[in-house]
Chains A and B, each alone.
Chain A
Amino acid sequence: MIDLLVARILMIVPVTVLGIFIGLLYKGIDRRLAARMQARIGPPLVQPFRDVKKLMLKENIVPRDAVAWVFNLMPFVALASSIVLLMYVPLFGYPPLLEGHGDLMLVLYMLMFPSLALVIGGFASSSPYATVGAQREMITMVSYEFPLAITIVALAWLVSATAPGAAAFSFSAITAIPVWHLVGVLGSIGLALLFAVIIFVTTGEMGEVPFDSAEAETEIAGGLLSEYSGRNLALFYLASAIKILVLGSVVIALFIPFGISGYAGLSGIAGEAADIGFFLVKLFIVMFISSTFIRVAAARFRITQVVKIYWGYTTMIALLGLVLIGLDIFMGVI
């Protein structure tokens, strides 16, 4: 048992490197695709890697009235917490690296850490723009947590109803049987609504347009990041890259944990390679819809609209999904 844990802990470094690589690569693909959708050529795929390298060479400026130690600490916290998150989510069709040591609730709480680090860093930077951005980020975060919590609770309820005694918040219980196989027609409609909700929440979690009012370059000059530069900004950038992989993996684990090797009749190394490739395809589709497509198709919402959209419409849709799943479970019992 201890040997297995030590082996898993030794895997943290390679998983981190892989997470950063895939996150940055996806950022490159995202920028390229967004550019093509706007009839532009766009940057090369390796541009995010070059951006990080350049930022590391730039001056790490600390503003005049900033609380320096908090200002410098928060990028550190954002990246470290993103790396920790990576260890608790299922990647590439495999169980989480630390399977059995933390569940979905831990991941939900940990997802707040990078955003909170941004908020605290913004408040510490003494810039009026960063302060406004920090306020907006805090409000956005509280807004999308409500529909996200309803979605997670609905899925856990479904799992606990169909597999009594199982740890309903563990990824192993959730991915053991895809949730779509546990429901009837009503439940399927409910799950489809919850899937749409979590895709919409993912956009807000990543701080992408139309939910990027916390940064809003054209209004508040980058908001909470306006005073960050050099290696501090690079750390925030890397944290957001890892968060892409984490969020995509959570959505995949909850709603589309299917493998392809069984359907293709593949086994051994070929089967595993097929499942890894299929995971990357699913990740690409989830992130394309929740990030690239939405941000190109929509304009930025005002912060007051963000609250209304998440607490109003999105929460109502999530509650409807929850009720439909509840009815499905109730009808299954009687």
Chain B
Amino acid sequence: MTGMIFTPAGYWNPIVWVAVVIIASVIVFMLRSTGRKTFKNGAQQIPFYSGNEAPRGHIKASNMYWGFFESLEKYYIWLRKMHTGIINDYVYFLVIVIVILMAALALGGLL
């Protein structure tokens, strides 16, 4: 089949995928066009902020991971402490990771 991509454990066909995306887009476009297009300009365009004036402008997407920092704070503090800036420490970590990987490969019979 033209355009087929095989991986060791799976496959997909991007050409068929694009064709299906186009057909699905046409279906959605037709569905969407049955809805009302217009709205009155004015007060209803002001974002809802529980009756207060909402702050203007956008909040940057760089705040996206706030929940992670908040909930995994101890983990991030631990990670920061590990980043000492001393090259000897980083080499030390590299050696530990290589030993763990070699041990895992040896256990799996791949060495």
B-contacting residues of A (Cβ < 8 Å)?
A: 1, 5, 9, 12-13, 16, 55-65, 67, 75-76, 79-81, 83-84, 87, 98, 100-106, 123, 125-131, 134-136, 138-139, 142, 156, 160, 167-170, 221, 226-227, 230-231, 234-235, 238, 303-308, 311
Judge whether B39 and A59 touch: CB under 8 Å. yes
Provide 15 A-B residue pairs closer than 8 Å at the C-beta atoms, listed in order of the A residue: A12-B23, A56-B35, A76-B25, A76-B32, A83-B27, A102-B17, A103-B11, A106-B17, A128-B55, A134-B64, A227-B47, A234-B35, A238-B31, A303-B70, A304-B67
0/1 per residue, B1-23, Cβ < 8 Å to A?
10010110111110011011101
Question: Out of A101, A221, A226, which one reaches B13, CB within 8 Å?
Answer: A101
Residues in chain A near residue B25, CB distance under 8 A: 76, 80
**The residue from B6, B20, B64 contacting A9, defined by CB atoms under 8 A apart:** B20
Residues of A within 8 Å of B50, CB to CB, are 221
4 A-B pairs besides A84-B24, A102-B13 with CB distance below 8 A are A13-B23, A83-B24, A126-B47, A231-B32
**Measured between C-beta atoms, what is the minimum distance from A154 to chain B in Å?**
13
Nearest CB in chain A: distance from B12 CB, A: 4
Interface magnitude class on chain B: 35 or more
> B108 → chain A, closest Cβ, in Å?
10
Do B44 and A61 touch across chains, with their CB atoms under 8 A apart? yes
Nearest chain B residue, comparing its CB with the CB of A156: B9
Q: Is B71 located at the chain interface by the 8 A CB criterion?
A: yes
Distance in Å: Cβ of A125 to nearest Cβ of chain B: 7
User: How far, in whole Å, are A64 and B71 apart by their CA atoms in the complex?
Assistant: 33
User: Contacts A126-B58, A221-B48 known; A135 to B63 CB distance under 8 Å?
Assistant: yes
| A206 to B47 Cα, complex, angstroms | 26
Given A98-B20, A103-B11, A235 and B59 contact (CB-CB distance below 8 Å): no
Give chain B residues whose Cβ lies under 8 Å from the Cβ of A60: 35-39
**C-beta contact mask, B54-73 vs A, less than 8 Å → 1, else 0?**
11111101011111101110
CB pair A139–B67 under 8 Å, yes or no, is: yes
B81 within 8 A of A: no
Q: Do the beta carbons of B17 and A135 come within 8 Å of each other?
A: no
Q: Which of A139, A168, A170 has the most CB of B within 10 A?
A: A139
Are B36 and A128 neighbours in the complex by a CB distance under 8 Å?
no
Which residues of chain B are within 8 angstroms of A160 by Cβ–Cβ distance?
A: 9
Tell whether B88 is near chain A: CB-to-CB under 8 Å: no
- Rounded to whole angstroms, the CA-CA distance of A304 and B66 in the bound complex is 9
Chain B residues with CB under 8 A of A63? 45-47
A169-B9 in contact (CB<8A): yes
CA distance A305 to B45 in the complex (A): 34
Are B32's CB and A235's CB within 8 A?
yes
